[in-house]
Amino acid sequence: MTKAWLEKRKRDYYYQKAKKEKYRSRAAYKLLQAASKYKFIRKGDIVVDLGSAPGGWLQASRKLVGAKGFVLGVDLKPIDPLPEENVQTLIGDITDKKLAKKIMELLPRKADVVLCDASPNISGVWEVDHARQIDLATHALRLAERILKRKGNFFVKVFQGDMLNDYIKEMKRLFYTVRLIKPQASRAESSEIFLLGIELNG
């Protein structure tokens, strides 16, 4: 992180807002804005969040599901526990074939929603980062097929690039509706966009 990058972050509107509203990341607003528009997380839902450290999306999901829902966060890194007992975390790797089973052991039933904001380590080489990101998103999609209930929803971050069309095609095969979303909180200069798969056709 350069000094210029740290200075720019301090001036960032959503960074300041997250600090004020005690969200662990500015990314929380990307989820809140998309969920507010498309209503894909409801009170009482079971949500699994893949690539969830430091936990901004976990806080946002907890707000949306309320006290009767359940939120499980998975990341390679440990996540500081959240105060609410219906938010749990698991150290895990999205690419691990045994992860679906480990997740299902912690859920009361199949998930209503699977989220994925996982990012690879950024190399700075566009094609490499795009390929690594699509690989993570593909593992997340495979996982979602196993842990989502029929008609469940899937919300995933992807980087734009030449492999994206095939990924969207695969999502269209699995979900009744697929939307491309660029929330206001996602920086215009960032190549990230979000895909929402509505209702797994199971």
Could you list the active site residues? Answer: 157
Closest contact distance (angstroms) between CB of 117 and ligand SAM is 3
191 scored as a contact of ligand SAM (CB under 6 A): no
Helices (H), 152-202: 164-174
95 scored as a contact of ligand SAM (CB under 6 A): yes
Closest contact distance (angstroms) between CB of 39 and ligand SAM is 20
* Interface segment toward ligand SAM; rule CB under 6 A; list 8-16, 19-27, 142-150, 176-184: 19-27
H or E, element range at 103: helix 99-106
Nearer to ligand SAM by C-beta: 23 or 70?
Answer: 23
Are the C-beta atoms of 103 and 140 separated by less than 8 Å?
no
Residue whose token pair is 């829902």 = 69
Query: Which residues in 146-185 contact ligand SAM (CB under 6 A)?
Result: none
Class of residue 22 by CB neighbours under 10 A (exposed 0-12, middle 13-18, buried 19+): exposed
CA distance 42 to 135: 29
Nearer to ligand SAM by C-beta: 28 or 163?
Answer: 28
Query: Which residues in 55-84 contact ligand SAM (CB under 6 A)?
Result: 55-57, 74-77
Residues contacting ligand SAM: total by CB under 6 A? 23
H or E, element range at 155: strand 148-159
Note the Cα 43 to chain centre separation in Å.
18
Among 14, 18, 27, 87, binds ligand SAM (CB under 6 A): 27
A 10 A CB-CB count for 11 gives: 8
Q: Which residues bind ligand SAM (CB under 6 A)?
A: 24-25, 27-28, 51-57, 74-77, 93-95, 117-120, 136
